[in-house]
Structure 1
């Protein structure tokens, strides 16, 4: 199938005004989420946002999700009909129809409003998003995808045509349809933005931006004007579904990404700007020796966690040494404070004073030195089955003891003997990134 202009699904009541994009205008990528396309009035509002951008001298490239809840409905239908025996490959082919239909509708509405528009489709010979064959959660083959996007999409923009690209969909090198997983349309938008060196990528959603808290949980949350990618990684995939962690690794450092609400009616609307990028996005996990001179200060007692005021005294005592804990591990009867070793003895003396003042809760203090930390970071790390084994397995084979392990969001910190830490970091990196475990 060759790329061609759409015929248009809607017939305007009168002939539309035909107008073209301004020559030399800046390219922006606008991605419209499923809820912003829930019905005809929302599709019209989204199309009007694109028309307005063109009139303001911009060159928009549109990426669309499936309309409304189409993806969920198709999954339910296919699984029920097949008694949950449908193959991932066949399911991907079915699910792609949601975005493919959405692209056809959107392009037709743009044409009805007087713009030249074409939709892209995975049936075309030059479909740009090329992936591996992990059906349901495919990974883009980045160099080929970027080159194909430039080759297919850029000429359309130069001809003042608005390309409408169905998000979420990929295609293997042998022509089979894949999907990029939940949040896949955002990934499509970021891939297109990077390949075209666009001025910005605008993610149009049904929320005003990224909030200071979940409005279903806290009162009067505020919209954050900006947030760093690394900070956002700690919030993504929460109950507020504004963006998926997997998406963030495709955020280019030099391109502004903004999350806005469709209700604003403009791609220039206020929202949340996402800044920065992740280091080493080509690897699934970053492994680094983050602290070389660490001591573990252990305080044991009885039901320590039931007395938060005693915990506060311990932390205050450590702070009086000019120390900030590098990490904390606790259960009901003990707390371990990982601290810089240089002032470990002084910290132990101050903690011991707190023990003597609170013997009804605290029993004793111990200090272990000559430790170091290895940090493993990666989006979705906590959702990777077997991740702890992949970290600890190679260390066990070399007879290396793990003195502690801390986990939070997308990072794991491993505490090891100092003289083993460099070798341990290399072994962990090999296990996670070099042996085919990173997809």
Structure 2
């Protein structure tokens, strides 16, 4: 089994933890697995180096300076592996076999990086070699050091796993995989054994520090990704398994939707109002397709066939409330959903989606976004044309 193991800064935070990491790698090698390693800077080295740049450093100098954390880590880990009799080597920008190459725009050169990753994998297999690769760093075609941005070590690991045809990528970090909640805040938080890549990406973009969102774009269905705690000590078991891969899809929902809007004074300051309205719909077995809110209103998108029942139910809530003033229904609406793993990393993506609709005088009634999707609501009769226009954006 070929594994790429990424060790985060906390898991290499001191000599004892470097030894623990080396022990886990050695155990996997002795069990017959091929292991590639990606190492972050030890502890908070990168943050320390950035804080100490007290002058106007250009991008090239800044990249060289911050690279020192990862360069130190790979040397420490390689030394610990060699002391255990493991055939290990460290790779950093500037070494002949360095795999992560970027183009003139700072983007990963996929073709060259894939070629180098395959060559490195072949050497792992033929020499029983454990390469220890600096995370976060890259190199352009001119030999200059570049970086992969925030969470770059995670990105290095999953990218290398993909291009080295690994069976699994193991992210070794300071959390027990993905938890049901933040154990520092909520009692009874427990490990989630499995989670989909879409679920985790949504959590990651909203503050969960488990795997960098940029890394997940490199995951495919044939490669497992698992998150384990550095104290676990076994690279091959435990933690949380991240399932599936991102699917890019542009879809026009077949069902006509109705739009029900409830207006009220300072709704945003009324705790529990959304729960009350949603619960009233749930009691009538009415599914909510989407929700949006404004300063003084909440809008539910539901299937058109339930509009009268839903209006009646919500009207009862308006009558009984001192906050709510009125409910209104409009239909039919169409919704086009754009789903993709890289939406949040593309500045201006919402504008690029809706601008062609404006050019064709199609009125956009609502746009609802998440980390992995954009939903655009238009009049039903404009749905097919809007779908074609949005598809054209991504075809281009």
TM-score calculated relative to the size of structure 1 = 0.82
Aligned to 1:248: 216
Alignment of 1:224-263 (within 5 A): 224-263=192-231
C-alpha distance in 2 between matches for 1:260 and 1:201: 11
User: What are the ranges of 5 or more consecutive residues in structure 2 without an aligned counterpart?
Assistant: none
Residues in 2 aligned to 1:416 and 1:232: alpha-carbon distance in whole angstroms: 29
Distance 1:240 1:346, change over 3 A: closer
Quick one: distance in 2 between partners of 1:32 and 1:252? 21
The match for 2:366 is: 404
When residues 311 and 252 of structure 1 are mapped into structure 2, their CA distance, relative to the original with a 3 A threshold, is: closer
Equivalence map 1:12-51=2 (5 Å) = 26-51=1-26
Contact 1:304 1:311 (C-alpha < 8 Å) held by counterparts: no
Which residue does the alignment assign to 2:303?
340
Q: Which of structure 1's runs of 4+ aligned residues deviate more than 6 A? A: none
Matches within 5 A, 1:75-224: 75-78=50-53, 80=54, 83=55, 85-134=56-105, 138-224=106-192
Equivalent of 2:355 in 393, 400, 417: 393
How far did 1:46 drift? 0.7
Q: Which has the larger radius of gyration?
A: 1
For 1:182 and 1:157, the matched residues in 2 are separated by 31
The Cα shift of 1:379 comes to 4.7
Alignment correspondent of 1:12: none
- Specify which of 27, 35, 41 is matched with residue 60 of structure 1: 35
SS at 2:204 equivalent: coil
Unaligned runs of 5+ in 1: 1-25, 281-285
Once structures 1 and 2 are overlaid, which stretch shifts more, 88-97 or 224-233? 88-97
Is the 2:247–2:340 contact (alpha carbons within 8 Å) kept by the matching residues of 1?
no
Q: Is the Cα–Cα contact under 8 Å of residues 321 and 343 in structure 1 kept in the other structure?
A: no
The 2-side partners of 1:384 and 1:37 are apart by: 33
Please give the secondary structure, in 2, of the residue aligned with 1:370.
strand
Distance 1:387 1:334 in 2: 26
Task: Tell me, yes or no, if the aligned pair for 2:247 and 2:339 is still in contact at 8 Å.
Answer: no
- Given the superposition, is the C-alpha separation of residues 378 and 74 from structure 1 closer, same or farther in structure 2, using an over 3 Å criterion? farther
Counterpart CA distance in 2 for 1:307 and 1:71 is 44
Cα gap change, 1:315 to 1:112, in 2 (>3 Å): closer
Aligned 8 A contact 1:150 1:195 in 2: yes
Post-superposition Cα deviations, 1:163-214, rounded to whole Å, max 9, x if no partner, equal 1111112222333321111211112111222223222111111222111111
- The structure-2 alpha-carbon separation of the partners of 1:113 and 1:402, relative to structure 1 and needing over 3 Å to count, comes to same
CA distance in 2, matches of 1:362, 1:70: 53
Q: 1:133 to 1:291 in 2, by over 3 A?
A: farther
Q: CA RMSD in A?
A: 2.6
Contact 1:391 1:428 in 2 (8 A): yes
Q: Give CA-to-partner distance per residue, 1:317-367, whole Å, 9 cap, x none.
A: 534554211112234533221111122233334433444x42644443322
